Amino acid sequence: MMSLFGSLSRPLRRAAAALCLAALAACATATPEADRRPRSVVVDGIDIAMMAHVLNYGFTEIKDRALNEPDIGGLFMHALENLSTIDPAVGVGMKDGELLLTYADVPLPLVAAPAHGDIGSWVKTTLTAVLTLRQVSMPMKMANSESLYKAIFPPALKVLDPYSRYAGRDEAIRSRLIRDGIIGLGIRVIAAKDGVAIQSIVKNGPAENAGLKLDDLITHVDGVPLVNRPVEEARRFLEGKADTVVQLTVRRPQAPDAFSVAVRRDLVIPDTVVANTVNDILEIRIRSFNQRTAQSVEKAVLSAREAGPVKGIVLDLRSDPGGLLDQAVDLADLFLDSGTIIALRGRHPGAQQFYGAHSGDIAQGIPISVVIDGRAASASEIVAVALQDNQRAAVVGTVSLGKGSVQTVIRLPNQGEIVLTWSRAYTPRGALLHGLGVLPDVCLSGESGTLSDTVGRIFKGGGPPAELVNGWRAPPAEAQGLEELRATCPPEAHPDRALDLEGARRLVQDPALYAQARQGSARQLAEKPQ
Strands (E), 115-244: 165-167, 182-184, 187-192, 195-201, 217-221, 224-225
pLDDT tens readout for residues 343-360: 999 999 999 999 999 999
Across 478-507, average pLDDT: 86
pLDDT tens per residue, range 362-416: 999 999 999 999 999 999 999 999 999 999 999 999 999 999 999 999 999 999 9
Segment 245-258, tens digit of pLDDT:
999 999 999 888 99
Give the pLDDT of residue 527.
21
Confidence of residue 174 (pLDDT cuts 50, 70, 90): confident
Report whether pLDDT(233) > 50. yes
**Confidence category of residue 522, pLDDT binned at 50, 70, 90:** very low
CATH numbers and ranges of domains, the chain: 2-160 (no CATH), 182-268 (2.30.42.10), 280-526 (3.90.226.10)
Please state, rounded to an integer, the average pLDDT across all residues of the chain.
Answer: 86
Mean pLDDT in residue range 197-225: 93
**Burial of residue 309 (number of CB atoms within 10 Å: 0-12, 13-18, 19+):** exposed
> Cβ atoms within 10 A of the Cβ of 145, count?
16
User: Which of the four pLDDT bands, split at 50, 70 and 90, describes residue 441?
Assistant: confident
Segment 239-246 mean pLDDT: 89
Asked if the model's pLDDT at residue 103 lies above 70, the reply is yes
Examine the residue annotation and report whether 95 is marked as an active-site residue of this protein: no
Of the candidates 121, 378, 400, 423, the residue annotated as catalytic is 378
Which pLDDT belongs to residue 204?
A: 83
Looking at the predicted structure, is the pLDDT value of residue 486 above 90? no
Q: How confident is the model at residue 485 (pLDDT cuts 50, 70, 90)?
A: confident
pLDDT at position 4? 33
What is the rounded average pLDDT of the residues 97-106? Answer: 92
Among 389, 400, 405, 423, the active-site one is 389
Per-residue pLDDT at 419 exceeds 90 = yes
Is 378 an annotated catalytic residue? yes
Query: What's the rounded mean pLDDT across residues 278-304?
Result: 95
Question: Considering only 27-31, 264-268, 308-312, 466-470, which range has the smallest mean pLDDT?
Answer: 27-31
- Confidence at residue 488, expressed as pLDDT on a 0 to 100 scale: 83
DSSP 280-346: TEEEEEE--B-TTHHHHHHHHHHHHHHHS---EEEEE-TT---B-HHHHHHHHHHT-SSSEEEEEE-
Residue 203 confidence (pLDDT): 82
Tell me the average pLDDT across 66-77.
95
**87, 164, 296, 403: the active-site residue:** 403
On the question of pLDDT at 457 being above 70, the answer is no
Residues across the chain? 530
Q: Among 51-65, 99-113, 292-306, 471-485, which is the least confidently predicted range?
A: 471-485
- Among 61-75, 163-177, 421-435, the range of highest mean pLDDT: 61-75
Q: What is the pLDDT confidence band of residue 475, given thresholds at 50, 70 and 90?
A: low
Q: With 60 as the cut, is the pLDDT of residue 275 above it?
A: yes
Strand 195-201 with 217-221, pairing: antiparallel
Does the pLDDT at position 17 exceed 90?
no
| pLDDT over 60 at 523, yes or no | no
Cβ count within 10 A of residue 530: 8
Check residue 410 and give its pLDDT: 94
Give me the mean pLDDT over the 103-126 stretch.
90
Torsion of CA 239, 241, 243, 244, to 10 degrees: -70
Run of H or E including 521: helix 521-526
User: 361 with 335: CB under 8 angstroms?
Assistant: yes
pLDDT at 271 over 90: no
Express as a percent the part of the chain with pLDDT over 70.
86
Q: Is the pLDDT of residue 521 over 70?
A: no
Q: Is 389 among the catalytic positions?
A: yes
Prediction pTM value: 0.79
In which band, very low, low, confident or very high, does the pLDDT at 143 lie, cut at 50, 70 and 90?
very high
Residue 258, CB-side half-sphere exposure with 13 Å CA sphere: 12
Of all residues in the chain, the percent with pLDDT exceeding 90 is 62
For residues 417-424, give the mean pLDDT.
Answer: 95
